[in-house]
Structure 1
């Protein structure tokens, strides 16, 4: 069902064809409701909810695991209680009683920073191999096994904690090793499943499971810690991941061509609209051309900058709520979760708006990606700066932190899906590359936060927020100058080149 000009019926318009007519009539598109592609997005949504729950549960459980044993400052200092307790008789961060027999540990701030960052040491190792293999073989097995492996290892967390910090560090690194393949596998699957004019909404819906998982896991972790003890957190979260994997392997297929329940109408629509870019890449990839690609480096740098602020809050916000604002564990976990509720809603909505802007030809793909990236980085930077001036005002601090992560959700329709714009066929591999670099802040940010905040002062946390805001501004500038939404020359398939040559010959003949 290609058009006479060689374009597929649902191809997103390039930046060079702003004045061309729409390529598809609305009645030619099979409805998304109950479709195989929407079901895939929903399953991915819950999968990423699980893996982010597995990733952040230690952030809240840590508050209970080290309760009452971490050395306090000397009595003649006012560091630990620099801010007053929030109103309410139950708000105190001094005691977090655990059920009898549940162990607790004397881990200082630096040790906690290393343990919170341990996940990302493993996460760094499998991004690129996971993206490469997913692009060649298909992503369903890698995404499914990544979640299942991480969940199974999570079940061993209480045992590793009792054996010592080295064992816990190694276990968390192994969890990251297993989870590292999940996002590249997702991108590789959407390269075969997502019609160009539906990319933003399908990918942001599935990826927003990360924010939803953090939102759900943080308060549940606090509640479970207080009622059942912190070990139960890891048993329940790990069990949820194993259960999800059962549904994934039953209902998901790598490609619409092999899906057992998809309608013929939807299958033909997806295959035709994506075209040659929806096929697996071979064993060889244009690695040198990729590494010399300015738009790819713009994605890399921008994701690193954006992730610094995101991972800083993801891993360290519960500690800030406890040590500085002195919320009790249940209040701490609920308030730490609020920013991710907003991020989930904004990222999902941004996908719908982005697709609408592209489909209606209001802006080119490049402009849309830059608008959402700028919005998702400049506004969070502004709110993080305001947090540093909010001091001990509990209401303002929680409000600004919530708005920072909420507005950051709009970048989901910007830089975070830009790989599939510049090279759909290699999108999984590219995401592996960009996410490898983007994970470096996940390793460094918690450690840096631990060093900045050793004395638990507002001044130390102010440095944390200022650094995150400044790095965000840098990323926004880089993507504005060098980002692109065009398919790069090294990503064009032989079939597309041949079609372009035929078009040129017809044009010359006419």
Structure 2
């Protein structure tokens, strides 16, 4: 693989494995779109997302109540609704992490994608009943989305050659960054022209169609796919011939719990999810309260960071493979570099936002950078579990993402509570606390992170040919 010619590398981009990465990319776009569209539609779904008595509470432009039904949900309830899908994801992480190593990924992802889309179609109806029903719908949707998000990681164990893991993972996961860009870009226009319920109907319909496509084109491994070329099949299987896989039996739970590298990744994920939940869920609210802009302008401004984040994520994946193939940096140095960029930069940019006042240009620039820079973690903490224990990759992703989502739940719920206090220092408290969490997580990761297979993950090795 190290001696792979440039022409062969270029040809690989037209291969089936890269086509599969594109399909997963679109699955992630749909899943994230169904999740994050609520953060912007919330601006039109409620009487006001602003704090009580804020100056722009009366400046919101009138909307047609037939197309855009309005509900009296407090900032606290809004925070719970926005974070409720994370509760569902929290429930499913470890079960799916374990089951994805046993049951077919094709059925897990396809079924979960369809269910998430179905709940998206039902959400406008749930909103007419009560906020509690919306929460229940979002929790169920979160279970489905969590299954898709986690199960997809294990497919690269059989489909990605070692020196292409960073690239293929970055391409597929970048859909999670491109999804919010597309969603926020179009949601404002849909809300104003068709009404906010159509947002959920459109993304739900796309998800149903994509779940059918997934079931048609995906196969568990190269040896099973009827359309793969013999050359590519041999290339993938030979490059993965010595890769350890899970036996599906004994799991070293005690060793995993005691593992410092596992805790380093977990705490890094805690900081990552804390940051992304605050910035992505509350960016529309922050812009509305600081700049007093309408929903369409809000959507355009909050969409841009996700496009930049997608660029950062793809760039990080390609740089990782480049650094490894040319032996510029060690694998551990690469993981620490991109984790540092993904946790340190958003903390710094968020603190800067506090001192910009009502500057439109400054706020737009630094909010964009703060929301985009976590994309670097794709080549850091996000893929690091594969380095230390490929045999238990699915389970470790479940554990680390579970801990990360706890951070996301706490941060999004706590942010709603802080905003509900109607304090002038609300955003100062939110951003400074976020920066502190990121720095603690980053320091712990830099001290204890590893990038080689741990002893407890090398026991009773099996290989697949």
Give the TM bin, normalised by the shorter chain: over 0.9
**134-143 vs 310-319, which moves further:** 134-143
CA distance in 2, matches of 1:340, 1:70: 24
Contact 2:247 2:462 survives alignment (8 Å)? no
Over 3 Å counting, the alpha-carbon distance change for 1:38 and 1:177 in structure 2 is same
1:47 aligns with 2:27: yes
**Gaps in structure 1 of 5+ consecutive residues:** 1-9, 11-21, 74-78, 83-91, 498-510
Pair 290,103 (structure 1): closer, same or farther in 2 beyond 3 Å: same
- Aligned ranges 1:281-430 → 2 under 5 Å: 281-430=247-396
Structure showing the higher helix proportion among its residues: 2
Question: Which stretch shifts more, 30-39 or 232-241?
Answer: 30-39
CA offset digits 1:256-282 (Å, max 9, x no partner):
121111112111211221224364531
8 Å CA contact 1:423, 1:488 repeated in 2:
yes
Equivalent residues of 1:136, 1:283 under 8 A apart: no
Distance 1:378 1:71 in 2: 29
Which of 126, 148, 151 is matched with 1:185 structurally?
151
Partner of 1:479: 445
Instruction: Name which of 73, 84, 87 aligns with 1:121.
Output: 87
> Matched residues in 1 for 2:69 and 2:109: separation?
34
**Alpha carbons of structure 1 residues 220 and 458: separation in structure 2 relative to 1, 3 Å:** farther
Quick one: structure 1 residues 493 and 69, their matched pair in 2 at CA, closer, same or farther if it must change by over 3 Å?
A: closer
Which is higher, the Rg of structure 1 or of structure 2?
1
Q: Which residue of 2 aligns with 1:86?
A: none
Given candidates 5, 10, 14, the residue that maps to 1:34 is 14
Alpha-carbon spacing, 1:324–1:257, altered in 2? closer, same or farther (3 Å): same
Q: Is the 8 A contact 1:277 1:493 kept in 2?
A: no
CA RMSD, 1 decimal: 2.1
Alignment of structure 1 residues 417-456 onto 2, 5 Å: 417-454=383-420
- What is the CA–CA distance in structure 1 between the aligned matches of 2:49 and 2:211, rounded to whole Å? 38
Q: Does 1:212 align with 2:197?
A: no
What is the alpha-carbon distance in structure 1 between the residues aligned to residue 3 and residue 138 of structure 2? 48
Bigger mean CA deviation after superposition, 169-178 or 274-283: 274-283
> How many pairs align?
463
SS of corresponding position for 2:172 = helix
Larger mean CA deviation between 253-262 and 345-354 belongs to 253-262
- The one-character-per-residue Cα deviations of 1:103-128 (angstroms, maximum 9, x if unpaired) are 21011111100111111111101111
Match for residue 77 of structure 2 among 84, 88, 111: 111
1:287/1:457 CA distance change after superposition, 3 Å: same
Relative to structure 1, is the Cα distance of residues 264 and 240 closer, same or farther in structure 2, using a 3 angstrom cutoff? same
**2:60 pairs with 1:80:** no
Residue 324 of structure 1 and its aligned partner are, at CA, apart by 2.8
Normalised TM-score (structure 2): 0.95
